[in-house]
Amino acid sequence: MNQMFKASITLSALLLALPAAAEVVVVVNAKAAESSLTKDQVSQFFLGKSTAMTPVDQAESAPARAEFYKKVTDKDPSQIKALWSKLVFTGKATMPKEVGDNAGVKKAVAADPKAIGYIDKSAVDASVKVVYAGS
């Protein structure tokens, strides 16, 4: 009985230590004309296929970045890096602006009416507008 109690306490501690999966949403400037975008439209901006909006990426190490690209483009970070390397090398596109975290994305998007970025849903405030939340 004592061992089962210890095991359940250990399991509970491990589960609490796991990071909660945050919901990543796509945001634009609060004054932007766009009110919603499809997954495909968002994907076009972040894969360099459209220049109508300026993508803002989080740092490569940010958990939101991998989650965003998997959710929206169905690609992992190494595939995205290879794609952008090719686009930049051939002169077809320039890399998205990279900022450190949710706060950096909000600041960049709030300052540029053509910017588009992604942040944790919990970080959304009046400075940005959610245009895609996915499923």
Enclosing domain of residue 90: 22-132
Residue 75, domain CATH: 3.40.190.10
Q: What is the mean pLDDT of residues 76-103?
A: 92
Total domains in the chain come to 1
In a domain, 48, yes or no: yes
The percentage of the chain sitting over the pLDDT mark of 70, rounded to a whole number, equals 83
pLDDT score at 101: 93
Count of beta carbons in the 10 Å neighbourhood of residue 103: 11
Query: How distant, in Å, are the alpha carbons of 3, 4, 17, 50 from that of 55?
Result: 53, 51, 33, 10
| pLDDT over threshold 70, residue 97 | yes
- Is residue 81 over pLDDT 70? yes
User: Does residue 84 fall inside a structural domain?
Assistant: yes
Q: What strands, in cross-sheet order, belong to the sheet with 97-99?
A: 97-99, 54-58, 115-120, 24-29, 128-132
State mean pLDDT over 18-22.
53
Q: Is residue 4 part of a domain?
A: no
